[in-house]
Amino acid sequence: MKHVKWLSCCLLGAAVFAQAPPADTLVSPEVHPDRRVTFRLRAPKAAEAWLVMDYMPAGTRQPMTREGDIWSATMGPLEPGVYIYSFQVDGMTIADPVNPNVKLRARTSASMVEVPDTPPAIWEPRDVPHGTVEINWQKSKVINGETRWIWVYTPPGYERDPKRRYPVLYLFHGANDTAGGWTLAGHANFILDNLIAEKKAVPMILVMPFGHALPYGSSGTLTSNTDLYEKYVLQDVMPLVEARYHVAPGRENRAIAGLSMGGGQALTIGFRHLDLFSAIGAFSAAVPTEFEKEFTSLLADAKQVNARLKLLWFACGRQDSLFERSQKLADLLAASQIKHTFRPTEGAHVFKLWRRYLSEFAPLLFH
């Protein structure tokens, strides 16, 4: 959490630790007071180096300029939030070698930089009571006997009153992410801490499983992954959650949401199980192309869907290549007279938006 501070302090002096001294006192990234950010890479023999950031249109990249052994690029001023980036150097795509704020992924390397706001944004740690995030390990019955982890946020005070029951939001990550993504990159825990402190959201549990049921990069499709993942969520994850945590019973107290691939999963699993979930959220979702076909009969029964779904909320940035899918879903739902909220925003396919979306979505739940 204090990565920025660690790095800025590296300017102060050489390491004197007995073990594993830093090989390099280079500072990268450096967040300037005006919210410009300088990225640096020591690459003495490189012929070329580029910076790639998550908000840049696909295929574009920022050339870095060389001074001695150091390549650098300065971007911004950038809006407060998180940015994911990597370097492309001589045909390799690498994380920033000196930035400890690594973006954990299912594959490929990247780093993160946090541009703070003043006062701290809703996704930054504030001086409020903090919930905890628990990592549960479980041998899956559904997925090859794999020992998989499930990250679970419990709100402040959860442990103090075992008789109190909490509603649950199942919250899914995107393709090439991990079960830790909503915590480490999304700051879902801080967002809920802050919303709860402001009484803008009711205290709730977040359940964050690992969304790749088929190995990432395998020959499976998003659809076949969702089918297996649905079984996993229903037969492994939900029983663990209902047995271990103090959850309020019934569909009224259960919501499902996700981002990108996870948004598609939330829409599919949510619509397949209106018996289990009363609210659905989808952020920059990979809306399944077969959505209309799969749910033809539900789409023809707006009365039933509207009676059961207390909330159907989705959002997408206009600069996201998936925007059309959300727009098409909105049109389909409107034509079918199914109640929903579609929030088109500015922005690309980035975590910075997903934090905003969660902070808008969570307050609407469980009233």
Cα–Cα distance measured from residue 361 to residue 367, given in angstroms and rounded to the nearest whole number: 12
Instruction: Give how far Cα 192 sits from Cα of 163, 182, 251, Å.
Output: 21, 12, 21
Whole-number Å distance between alpha carbons of 355 and 347: 12
| Interface pattern 176-195 for its own copies (x via CB under 8 A) | x-x----x-----xx-----
Q: Considering only CA atoms, which of 59, 53, 56 is closest in space to residue 29?
A: 53
Minimum CB separation of residue 104 from its own copies in Å reads 6
Nearer CB in complex with its own copies: 60/147: 147
Query: Closest approach of Cβ 189 to its own copies, in Å?
Result: 7
**Among residues 349 and 352, whose Cβ is nearest to its own copies?**
349
Residue 116 region by backbone torsions, left for phi larger than 0, else alpha for psi between -120 and 50, else beta: beta
Nearest to 64 by CA among 53, 54, 55: 53
Query: Virtual CA dihedral for 116, 350, 185, 73, nearest 10 degrees?
Result: -60
User: Closest separation between CB of residue 307 and its own copies, Å?
Assistant: 32
Kindly identify the residues of this chain, within the stretch 69-88, that bind its own copies according to CB under 8 A.
Answer: 69
Among 33, 59, 67, 137, binds its own copies (CB under 8 A): 137
| Residues near its own copies (CB under 8 A), total | 86
Interacting stretch for its own copies, rule CB under 8 A, among 168-176, 195-203, 296-304, 351-359? 168-176
* The length of the chain, given as a count of residues: 367
- Of 59-67, 139-147, 296-304, 339-347, the window that binds its own copies (rule: CB under 8 A) is 139-147
Under the binding rule (CB under 8 A), the answer on residue 15 touching its own copies is: yes
Measured at the CA of 324, the angle between CA 115 and CA 53, to 5 degrees, comes to 25
- Closer CB to its own copies, residue 178 or residue 359? 178
Among 35, 61, 130, 328, binds its own copies (CB under 8 A): 130
Contact 364, 311 (CB under 8 A): yes
Does residue 13 touch its own copies according to CB under 8 A? yes
Could you tell me whether strands 49-53 and 81-89 are parallel, antiparallel, or unpaired per DSSP bridges?
A: antiparallel
Q: Please report whether residue 215 would count as binding its own copies according to CB under 8 A.
A: yes
Binding mask 87-106 for its own copies (x = CB under 8 A): --xxxxxxx-xx-x-x-xxx
Cβ neighbourhood burial of 293 (10 Å; 0-12, 13-18, 19+): exposed
By CB under 8 A, tell whether 159 contacts its own copies.
yes
What are the two backbone dihedrals, phi and then psi, of residue 332, each rounded to the nearest 5 degrees? -60, -45
Residues in region 263-292 near its own copies by CB under 8 A: 286
The radius of gyration computed from the CA coordinates of the chain, to the nearest angstrom, equals 22
**Which residue, 134 or 301, is less far from its own copies as judged by CB?**
134
- C-beta of residue 111 within 8 angstroms of C-beta of residue 130: no
Site for its own copies in 308-367 (CB under 8 A): 322, 349
Q: Which of 107, 303, 318, 339 binds its own copies (CB under 8 A)?
A: 107
116 binds its own copies, rule: CB under 8 A:
no
Please state the closest distance from residue 106 (CB atom) to its own copies, in A. 6
Residues 28-57 that bind its own copies (CB under 8 A): 41-47
If one asks whether residue 164 binds its own copies (CB under 8 A), the answer comes out as: no
123 closest CA partner among 180, 75, 190: 190
